[in-house]
Structure 1
Amino acid sequence: MTGGPEPMSAADRTAIERELADLRRERDDVAATLKGGGGDETGDRADQADELMRGTEADRLERRIKELEARLEEAAVAGPPAEDTVGVGSTVTVRFDDGTEATVHIGEVAEMYDPDIVTADSPLGSELIGRRAGDTVTYRAPDGPRSAFVVSLGEQGGGPAAAS
């Protein structure tokens, strides 16, 4: 991405807020199973190892929560995505080197149920960032180098993003 505060689309904000809610619930569930600092030290090594694993998991969840909270704050500072260049939150219609077109959304969070999301850090997504309609990008796909022509930004027609 650009290195500065990155804007965020409403769909990405919703996805991150949903992930945050899930992580907070999971953190609370894990925290409820921890004994705490000054408790009874009875139990065997397996109990102690299990407690240590739950503590490590609680730490991991807390780090991810802080990361997502910081990203939401950054997006608020950055303001809305630009309309004339591709950025996180943009909807882009591209024509691939085989002639097929697809309309994709440049997002931060890949969602299993939405094949039209291309993450900004994917090979295609990272090449599209900062581009304008009329630009051609080259990116590395699993089957080798490919190219895509940026047809337009904004809601347009197009097929599935299977080629991404």
Structure 2
Amino acid sequence: MSRAFVKEGSGELDPLPDLPISPHPNYVTPRGLAALRERLAATQADLARLRARPDRLDKLPEAAAERDIRYLEARLRSAIPIDPAIQPLTSAAFGLRVTVADDQGHETTYEITGEDEADASLGRIAPHSPLARALLGAEPGDTVTVRRPSGPTSLDIVSIARP
């Protein structure tokens, strides 16, 4: 048998490449900071469970957990907590909920949160997203223009509130 396609090694897996870290400031809400800590604890528990397996032939899950732990630890080290409770409700800011109305009068509420907490299905948007950049600093009664792939859209700021 030809040995050309056989890779012999120590059985150890090279570390997986790190997950990309955003170049943007890592602003987090108290809820987002708690979620990062919970994810880190859960991933550390998963790694301990994986290392305790009697059959450890597949090292890829362990390598993935180690990579995720490095990412979460980096995100926690760079976290800049901002409490929405101290933000004034005069203009849209990080951590606040902004209700907007489109040209047809349809209202939607967005919450400007940290990147790791952003979830479009829950109306949570990252502060560097085009929508959040358009909303930041706007006051109730203002109209902002959001550039979307389908073209610019005007949104009226209806209200600003805390989550």
> Above 0.5 in TM-score?
yes
Match of 2:129 in 1: 122
Equivalent residue for 2:141, pick from 134, 137, 140: 134
Match of 1:151 in 2: 158
- How big is the shift at 1:94? 1.0
Contact 2:33 2:76 in 1 (8 A): no
The TM-score, its normalising length taken from structure 2, stands at 0.60
1:87 aligns with 2:93: yes
- How big is the shift at 1:59? 3.6
Match of 1:66 in 2: 73
User: Larger Cα Rg: Structure 1 or Structure 2?
Assistant: 2
Match of 2:8 in 1: none
The TM-score, its normalising length taken from structure 1, stands at 0.60
Match of 2:107 in 1: 101
Return closer, same or farther for 1:26/1:146 CA change in 2, 3 Å cut-off.
farther
- How big is the shift at 1:155? 5.7
Contact 1:136 1:149 in 2 (8 A): yes
Partner Cα separation in structure 2 for residue 142 and residue 22 of structure 1: 38
Q: Unaligned 5+ residue runs, structure 1?
A: 36-46, 157-164
Partner Cα separation in structure 2 for residue 22 and residue 135 of structure 1: 43
- How big is the shift at 1:56? 3.7
Match of 1:22 in 2: 42
Match of 1:110 in 2: 118
- How big is the shift at 1:152? 1.9
Contact 2:92 2:135 in 1 (8 A): yes
- How many residues are treated as equivalent by the alignment? 136
- Higher helix fraction (1 or 2): 1
Match of 2:33 in 1: 13
Please give the secondary structure, in 2, of the residue aligned with 1:25. Answer: helix
Please give the secondary structure, in 2, of the residue aligned with 1:148. Answer: strand
Q: Unaligned 5+ residue runs, structure 2?
A: 1-23
RMSD of aligned alpha carbons: 3.5
Percent identity of the aligned residues?
Answer: 27
